[in-house]
Homo-oligomer: A and B are copies of this chain.
């Protein structure tokens, strides 16, 4: 299914999510993986040193995350879990303007829901994110450009977040598209920034710039864009010189005090799967697709504003 063809279909039917129906409950362990045909490699791993890896998100033009990305990210996280030498990993983007953005709305939802649950017993996306948080590897999200939806969720599952003061945007626009986020922000944001600011992020659905992200604790720090790379690289090399077992032991203990229970993350994913199939979501996603979501850089770049305008005049 090519993008232009789908887009024409959307314009004709006015219903973007016609194909987004699910036969089963989305967590059936027996279901086979959906993505049978080989997908373009959207994630690259560079071993800067044996102890310091870089994971580059490279799915232009917007770093959209789709069901085809799931096994690719899963492979990276599995390698991080199993490699005896890696101590620190930096997630970064090679796509200008985008760290990583929202889930791909074009493939049928069943491509995602038919995938088997992961090692934690959670469906693949929350499974991978939980495993990243628990891995005995220190993960740092270096955020330049937009970290929306799944992009924000990957950043939140990482151990630390550093943002470009001028070029980072973090957000959860999902509420404006009529469905609930699914990859952890309702569980993770309140523990990071308190209930009030977390509710503003997920109920307001608007773009959060580098300054506010730092003030709210959404990121550890926002740095001048020109300093971001050197800062993160210095920190990563520093950590790579420490003892791997000590790093893992310390992370384990912080996790006891701070990680949400897996059940909260599972419940959040279930809420996403349910809500995204409701008429409110189907209609709003359809409207967004007609406006050019996943095609038009203007729409993707101003997603916070766009979902706000979508609601205008709605009762």
Contacts and interface: CB of A to CB of B under 8 A. Distances in A.
Interface residues of A, number: 79
B238 A284 contact: no
B199 A191 contact: no
Contact of A251 (B199, B239, B253, B258): B199
Contacts of A220: 196-197, 200, 216
Given A161-B196, A257-B264, A250 B175 contact: yes
A254 B186 contact: yes
For this chain, the copies found in one complex come to: 3
Interface in A255-271: 255-260, 264, 267-268, 271
Considering residues A219, A243, A315, which has the most beta carbons from chain B within 10 angstroms of its beta carbon?
Answer: A243
A308 B241 contact: yes
A242 B198 contact: no
Contact of A245 (B192, B200, B280, B313): B280
Contact of A315 (B51, B251, B254): B51
A297 to B, nearest CB: 23
A303 to B, nearest CB: 13
Contact of A195 (B138, B179, B245, B254): B254
A262 to B, nearest CB: 13
Interface string A145-177: 000000000000011110000000000000110
Nearest to A267: B253
A283 B190 CA distance: 40
A17 interface: no
**Nearest 9 A/B pairs, CB to CB:** A241-B311, A190-B258, A186-B253, A195-B258, A243-B280, A192-B194, A190-B257, A159-B199, A178-B243
Interface of A: 50-51, 85, 138, 158-161, 175-176, 178-181, 186-200, 202-206, 212, 214-217, 219-221, 235, 238-243, 245-247, 249-251, 253-260, 264, 267-268, 271, 275, 278, 280-281, 284, 308, 310-315
Given A158-B196, A196-B217, A196-B220, 14 more contacts: A159-B199, A181-B250, A188-B195, A190-B254, A190-B258, A191-B257, A191-B258, A192-B195, A195-B259, A200-B220, A203-B250, A245-B280, A253-B268, A256-B264
